[in-house]
Structure 1
Amino acid sequence: MIKNDSYWWYITLSADDGQEEALFSIADISGSIGTELQEIPSGGIRLRAYYRSSEDLHYWKANILDALKEWDNVKIEDFGKIENQPWNVAAEEAFPPLPVGRSMVVLAPWHKGTEPEGLIPLYINPGSAFGTGYHESTQIVLELMEDFVKP
């Protein structure tokens, strides 16, 4: 990412189920720097492709329209501008401390120093092989461990 990009353009494409490769190919051919794939609950798929603001939105739309000539079933759903945000902060906020059982609390490493008093802190780095601590199976195991773990 270029440091002085204060915003990004996005163009959202939609297609039938099973057309993921076509959407990714169109995004790649048109110069996208990142994508986000979504399933549409009523059926079909949606791909939001992101583009640098160093070019005008019309430039990126022209690139997409040129690439769309190969695929009749892919449509432009919407497009617009998205402000640059500190995504790492938003990701960290998605993992608040989670009390588990009677005596433990699962925390991400960046919450060190904010442990609730009286609870055993268990630090899990979200995204690591162990996960986030939010999955039911992890919580069940931790609750079973309470009988064996002594502070």
Structure 2
Amino acid sequence: MNFKAITIYTTHEGIDPVTGRLYTLGINGVEIEDKQDFEEFVAENTPNWDYIDESVSEKMSGETKVKAYVADNASGMETIRLIKESMQELKKFDTEGKFGRLDVELSTTSEEEWADNWKQYYKPTKISRQLVIVPEWEQYEAPSGVTAVKINPGAAFGTGTHESTRLCLEFVEEFTTPKTRMLDIGTGSGILAVTALKLGAKSACGIDIDELAVKASMENAALNGVEDRFISRLGNLADNVDGTFNLITANIVADVIIQLIPDIPQHLALGGIFVASGIIDSREEEVRKALADNGLYVFDSKNQKSWVALACKKK
């Protein structure tokens, strides 16, 4: 399969608004080439490798780029059209020019070339002192007391390093117990559900509208030896799901979360927790209102850059 590589030229300040707009268009994984983010990432994760290749450092020193990939077919071309429209809208909003030129550049790449290109940037990512996300192809020996979750996101899903995923993973780590029955809506690579199972959850169910997600999440569960406690289903939001769960996660975007919220209370067990992530801070109050209108209250929240994750219970 061939992919269209979409490169958007921006600035450090433009990363969040650009990636936020891509998320609203259903693009879950992006590559970011940004000097400031790269330097911060290296500083935080230096213990996970011995050195950084000079060619990678040099590549990160130029203009900030946000890259995404879509299938080279009619559906992918429609997504590209929407991305171009969205960047034009963002240009009009950015009256001070803080987000750069926002030009969109296209190229074609094979799946093999795509894999070789982005794997060089995906390294073990420390979520907390006890939790590390590790790409499948990396050799990593977890220290005593550290849970390492192996993930191969494949060609269609993110790597788990985006702020919204990190915030959600922090909550998953905090709330998972041996009695946890988890529902992960919009499971993608299955990173949240698989992490919960690695942390000792009793069971997890992932649901996604994408057949590739169902396949990828099952493969990642097997990669971590938790496939016997995991099931992945094809479905829209909370459809095709029966029963109640102690922990429900939805790392999507604000519009989809708001649409989903009315279905959450019926699937939450007594004392159960709903974690909503992927929320741009400008939409936080709107999501909070939807939660309150449906009998849910926020008892904890986490923020990173412009992203927010909310932990909720039934009133």
| Higher Cα radius of gyration | 1
Output the TM-score relative to the length of structure 1: 0.47
TM (norm. structure 2) is: 0.25
More helix per residue: 1 or 2? 2
